[in-house]
Structure 1
Amino acid sequence: MSVVRKRWWGGTPACILAIGLALATPALAVQPDEILADPALEARARDISRQIRCPVCQGESIDDSNATISRDLRIILRERLVAGDSDDQVIDFLVARYGEFILYNPRATGSNLILWLAGPAMLALGGGIALAAFRRKTAPETGLSADEEARLKEILKR
């Protein structure tokens, strides 16, 4: 005699998918003690912190990172906003301290201009090379010379 046991998740793939999706939600790194009382300032702080890359993690913004340096940067950012700095002044302060590397969207000035223009320039260069190769392959072929035609007729008569 065999006993069939019911699985704890109900045996449906939908339940497994729901549990997986619930566990896949991103963890918010901003701690409750960092949040500003003024909702408008907090919204500005969150917007700016999404534009700043964590110097340690490099793949996360300081808004998402749990690294200690990210926490420090979030606190500095909020202190500057409370002091009355504009968004650009806060970003300039952080860039002056940590360099342009911390910006997810680097400014298109100075040496960064080379990086901004390199992609479109390479695309144009590649397109030009492809166009030249295409034209070379599809160039109309010239007809046979008189000697070649005579030789062809002689071969075909045999």
Structure 2
Amino acid sequence: MKAISVLIAAIFCTLFIQGRAGLFDHSNVVKLDSSTFNEKVADGKIYFIKFFAPWCGHCKKLAPTWSQLADSYKDSEEVVIAQVDCTKEKDVCEKAAVTGYPSLKSYYNGESHATFKGGRSLEALQNYVDGAVKELTLETVS
């Protein structure tokens, strides 16, 4: 009987952990790490990046909206919606001066452009990205 209880507990924990990990796995969200970060953010596109920790309640709450945001820009040639797991990529998050979770930052041409401090609705995030595209596109043309 004890062995069955342990087995049930192990299965529950495995399913729980896999379910939580799934919150942050979405096909249109680009996952950045220490081997890809610098090269990607310098590729001429605007990267809007969520720096997160999987245990963070605010990060979990934002995850579905972040996925929707990525879906809305999946065909964009100018914008990439990305994320960095700061529990795995501590060096990247340290260099990005991440002090809390989630931190939402935009990058362009290898440089940090801005830290987003606005609302966390899909509309607010889209407005920010669209504004960044206009601003940075105008800078490039000037």
More strand by share: 2
TM-score, normalised on structure 2?
A: 0.33
Structure possessing the higher relative contact order (Cα contacts under 8 Å, 6 or more residues apart)? 2
TM-score, normalised on structure 1?
A: 0.30
More helix by share: 1
